[in-house]
Protein backbone atom coordinates (compact mmCIF):
# COMPACT_ATOMS: atom_id res chain seq x y z
CA UNK A 1 0.00 0.00 0.00
CA UNK A 2 1.40 3.37 -1.04
CA UNK A 3 1.33 6.33 1.36
CA UNK A 4 -0.31 9.52 0.13
CA UNK A 5 2.20 12.36 0.21
CA UNK A 6 0.84 15.82 0.86
CA UNK A 7 1.63 18.57 -1.59
CA UNK A 8 3.04 21.88 -0.41
CA UNK A 9 -0.28 23.54 -1.20
CA UNK A 10 -2.15 21.05 0.99
CA UNK A 11 0.29 21.56 3.87
CA UNK A 12 -0.01 25.34 3.71
CA UNK A 13 -3.79 25.42 3.26
CA UNK A 14 -5.38 27.70 5.85
CA UNK A 15 -2.09 29.13 7.14
CA UNK A 16 -0.97 32.71 6.77
CA UNK A 17 2.20 34.56 7.82
CA UNK A 18 0.45 36.00 10.88
CA UNK A 19 -0.76 32.75 12.45
CA UNK A 20 1.66 30.50 14.31
CA UNK A 21 1.57 26.76 13.85
CA UNK A 22 2.35 25.68 17.40
CA UNK A 23 -0.63 27.35 19.02
CA UNK A 24 -2.92 25.37 16.75
CA UNK A 25 -1.44 22.12 18.05
CA UNK A 26 -1.19 22.73 21.80
CA UNK A 27 -2.17 25.20 24.45
CA UNK A 28 0.80 26.71 26.31
CA UNK A 29 0.87 25.85 29.99
CA UNK A 30 0.81 28.63 32.54
CA UNK A 31 4.31 27.85 33.83
CA UNK A 32 6.02 28.08 30.43
CA UNK A 33 8.12 31.20 29.89
CA UNK A 34 7.31 33.55 27.05
CA UNK A 35 9.73 33.95 24.16
CA UNK A 36 11.07 37.18 25.68
CA UNK A 37 11.57 35.54 29.07
CA UNK A 38 13.53 32.70 27.45
CA UNK A 39 15.88 35.23 25.84
CA UNK A 40 16.34 37.30 28.99
CA UNK A 41 19.90 37.01 30.25
CA UNK A 42 21.15 35.17 27.17
CA UNK A 43 22.43 38.29 25.43
CA UNK A 44 24.99 40.51 27.10
CA UNK A 45 24.71 44.20 26.42
CA UNK A 46 27.71 46.50 26.36
CA UNK A 47 26.18 49.88 25.83
CA UNK A 48 28.51 52.04 27.86
CA UNK A 49 32.18 52.42 26.95
CA UNK A 50 32.96 52.47 30.68
CA UNK A 51 31.82 48.87 31.21
CA UNK A 52 34.69 46.72 32.56
CA UNK A 53 34.30 44.31 29.64
CA UNK A 54 35.92 46.88 27.34
CA UNK A 55 38.98 47.04 29.61
CA UNK A 56 39.35 43.29 29.25
CA UNK A 57 39.05 43.60 25.49
CA UNK A 58 41.65 46.33 25.05
CA UNK A 59 44.07 44.99 27.65
CA UNK A 60 43.95 41.45 26.29
CA UNK A 61 46.89 39.92 24.53
CA UNK A 62 46.86 40.91 20.87
CA UNK A 63 47.12 38.70 17.83
CA UNK A 64 50.44 37.46 16.51
CA UNK A 65 52.09 39.01 13.47
CA UNK A 66 51.37 35.94 11.33
CA UNK A 67 47.60 35.81 11.91
CA UNK A 68 46.82 36.77 8.27
CA UNK A 69 49.40 34.55 6.58
CA UNK A 70 47.16 31.51 6.12
CA UNK A 71 44.06 33.37 4.96
CA UNK A 72 44.91 33.82 1.26
CA UNK A 73 44.78 37.59 1.58
CA UNK A 74 46.63 39.77 -0.94
CA UNK A 75 49.70 41.67 0.22
CA UNK A 76 49.32 45.37 0.92
CA UNK A 77 51.43 46.05 -2.19
CA UNK A 78 48.87 44.31 -4.41
CA UNK A 79 45.93 46.28 -3.04
CA UNK A 80 45.15 49.68 -4.49
Q: Cα–Cα distance between 36 and 21 in angstroms, integer?
A: 18
**What residue ranges do the domains of the chain occupy?**
35-61
Residues across the chain: 80
Q: Mind listing the pLDDT tens digit of every residue in the chain (80 residues)? A: 788 898 888 887 777 766 656 555 666 677 777 777 777 776 666 566 666 766 777 777 877 777 767 777 666 665 55
Does the predicted model carry a pTM greater than 0.85? no
- What are the residues whose beta carbons fall under 8 Å from the beta carbon of 44, sequence distance 6 or more? 53
Q: Which of 21, 25, 24, 42 is nearest to 33 (CA)?
A: 42
Task: Please report the sign of the dihedral spanned by the C-alpha atoms of residue 67, residue 73, residue 77, residue 80.
Answer: negative
Amino acid sequence: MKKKRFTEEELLDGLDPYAAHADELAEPQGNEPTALERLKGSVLRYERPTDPVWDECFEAEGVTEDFMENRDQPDNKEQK
